[in-house]
Amino acid sequence: MQLLLGQTLGFGADPFETPHDEAAKHQSHGAVLIDGGRIAATGTASDLIARYPRADRTDYGDKLIMAGFVDAHVHYPQTAIIASWGKRLIDWLNSYTFPEEMRFGDPSYARATADTYLDLVLANGTTTVASYCTIHPASVDAFFDAAEKRGMAAIAGKTCMDRNAPEGLMDTPASAYDDSKALLQRWHEKGRARYAITPRFSPTSTAEQLEAMGALWAEHPDCLMQTHLSEQTDEVAWVKSLYPQARDYLDTYETHGLLGARGVYGHAIYLEAREKDRLREAGAGLVHCPTSNTFIGSGIFDMAGLIAAGQRVGLATDTGGGSSFSMLRTMAAAYEVAQLRGVALHPSALLWLATEGSARSLQIADRVGTLAPGSEADFITLDLGSTPAIAQRSTQAANIWEAVFPTIMMGDDRAVTGVWVMGERKG
């Protein structure tokens, strides 16, 4: 048994529903007990030291111990094209993304990129991601292998596209079904791996392909299904022209069996009233990707409105449309985007979104994203004074929220001083 001492921060409730000082559980002299790769107990340092005197004890001083970040929407194959200049969504896909994704026809390139990507996110304190792969089945194997090697919980799926993509980057309805099925049989619930059926988005799938993905999901309802929804106005208009019968963008998924509680929809900026109703009724997950939405010029997500209306929302980098691997930077961008809608998200809400909120959007909050006893021991330590600029601000802090907010707004991988995966230190 290991006993880690430090400041601890967890949540007993959702800070969007419960006042933040009741929802958050902060101990300035706290402790986390790890046993067999799981969190066994949390509490005050003095209490846990008294109860577990023989545990192997490490004192992290005033470092903040909290759950590892959960990044609910990423494209690991876009690692090498992050920060590519000057395009909006469709041009960005055609100019940068698709050419790069072609390179994943080479399994050794996929393996090297998966390693690079997971090392980067771990260094940034992200312990779980949900990733799109490419159309190549080997890109999925590469990713799950790399996650398994690090002991990480990972969600991923083969990205399916059968139109409006370059030759060499398209499958068919039948091959998408067969390949996805073989991959999910190989990976879903193998150790910490979970499979997500992954039609990229309606513009790159025919109705036949969406139908095939819906059929596969109906046969494997315990898998997630991840896709993109209403990210840019041009994209929404394109979907309308490709699917003239559809009531709206979501309807292109809904009529093909691709709406459900285990559905995870990236971006969701331009939603019509019917779409919001159906997403809420289905209990689907919406994923906000703020650095992507500003970088690609997509628009201003309505975090407060959607959550108040009962939507389940997670937070994500959307690497490489997003401009960062860091969930700290992503929280900062979420704060700024919400400010543009006149809402100041509290630091507790931002930290909750980056951990438990994202885990809930992926239906894995019973395992990761919290410090709750019984959950898998994926957690980090943060230095709340990691740079001179942050330190001079946080020393003025009157409480934990003022102490942590400068790190949310200005922090990066230098703030992440320790990363544990299933109770094992990784960085």
Q: Which residues of this chain interact with ligand GUN, rule CB under 6 A?
A: 75, 89, 93, 97, 200-201, 228, 231, 292, 318, 321
Q: Give the residue with the Cβ less far from Zn ion, 291 or 375.
A: 291
- The length of the chain in residues reads 427
* Helix then strand then coil, % of the chain, to nearest 5: 45, 25, 35
* Whole-number Cα distances in Å, 197 to 46, 77, 113, 133: 47, 17, 21, 11
Query: Tokens for 333?
Result: 């961008």
Segment lying near Zn ion (by CB under 5 A), choices 297-305, 318-326, 393-401, 404-412: 318-326
> Which residue number is nearest to ligand GUN in terms of Cβ?
321
Binding partner of 201, given Zn ion, ligand GUN, none, CB within 5-8 angstroms per partner class:
ligand GUN
Q: Give the residue with the Cβ less far from ligand GUN, 321 or 369.
A: 321
Binding partner of 326, given ligand GUN, Zn ion, none, CB within 5-8 angstroms per partner class:
none
- In whole angstroms, the minimum distance from the beta carbon of 99 to ligand GUN comes to 13
- In whole angstroms, the minimum distance from the beta carbon of 208 to ligand GUN comes to 19
Binding partner of 231, given ligand GUN, Zn ion, none, CB within 5-8 angstroms per partner class:
ligand GUN
Count other C-beta atoms under 10 Å from residue 236's C-beta.
18
Q: Give the residue with the Cβ less far from Zn ion, 76 or 195.
A: 76
Segment lying near Zn ion (by CB under 5 A), choices 9-17, 310-318, 358-366, 372-380: 310-318
- In whole angstroms, the minimum distance from the beta carbon of 93 to ligand GUN comes to 6
Q: Give the residue with the Cβ less far from ligand GUN, 292 or 381.
A: 292
Strand partners, 42: 32
Residues 229-288 that bind Zn ion (CB under 5 A): 266
- In whole angstroms, the minimum distance from the beta carbon of 321 to Zn ion comes to 6
Q: DSSP label at 353?
A: I
R_g of the chain computed on alpha carbons: 21
- In whole angstroms, the minimum distance from the beta carbon of 80 to ligand GUN comes to 14
- In whole angstroms, the minimum distance from the beta carbon of 269 to Zn ion comes to 13
- In whole angstroms, the minimum distance from the beta carbon of 196 to Zn ion comes to 12
Q: Give the residue with the Cβ less far from ligand GUN, 213 or 400.
A: 213
Distance CA 206, CA 243 (A): 9
Amino acid at 99: P
Distance CA 103, CA 400 (A): 46
Cα–Cα nearest to 61, from 366, 347, 382, 392:
382
Q: Give the residue with the Cβ less far from ligand GUN, 89 or 371.
A: 89
Binding partner of 317, given ligand GUN, Zn ion, none, CB within 5-8 angstroms per partner class:
none
Binding partner of 200, given Zn ion, ligand GUN, none, CB within 5-8 angstroms per partner class:
ligand GUN
Cβ atoms of residues 317 and 291 within 8 Å: yes
- In whole angstroms, the minimum distance from the beta carbon of 284 to ligand GUN comes to 17
| 100 φ/ψ angles, rounded to the nearest 5 degrees | -65, -40
Strand pairing of 56-67 and 126-132? unpaired
Q: Give the residue with the Cβ less far from Zn ion, 8 or 227.
A: 227
Find all residues with CB under 8 Å of 78, minimum gap 6, and list them: 97, 100, 101, 319, 320, 321
Q: Give the residue with the Cβ less far from ligand GUN, 42 or 298.
A: 298
Strand pairing of 126-132 and 153-157? parallel
Cα–Cα nearest to 408, from 344, 359, 365, 312:
344
- In whole angstroms, the minimum distance from the beta carbon of 75 to ligand GUN comes to 5
* Whole-number Cα distances in Å, 106 to 29, 101, 102, 251, 319: 50, 10, 9, 36, 21
Distance CA 4, CA 305 (A): 38
Q: Give the residue with the Cβ less far from Zn ion, 188 or 200.
A: 200
In the complex, the residues that contact Zn ion under the rule CB under 5 A are: 266, 318
